[in-house]
Amino acid sequence: MLLNASCYNATILLTFSFLFSWLCHSVSAQLHYSIPEEMRKGSVIANIAKDLGLDIKQLSLRKFRIVSRLSDNQH
């Protein structure tokens, strides 16, 4: 009986882990853009909302934000 309960708990944990992983993957997105060094400051790079398929009016309702990180690796 103890083996069945342990197996059941492992199955529940595995199922929960899979669903949580799938959910996290489905609600995040990453975009990468190449920016030439010669580009002037203030230049338009891309239309991020269009690239993500979002309605511009919905961005504030969804609390959309842009996070920019500088990479230590220079390619």
pLDDT in tens, 18-72: 888 777 665 566 777 888 888 888 888 888 778 877 787 777 787 777 666 655 5
pLDDT of residue 29: 65
pLDDT of residue 32: 79
pLDDT of residue 7: 80
- List the helix and strand counts (H, then E) for the chain: 2, 0
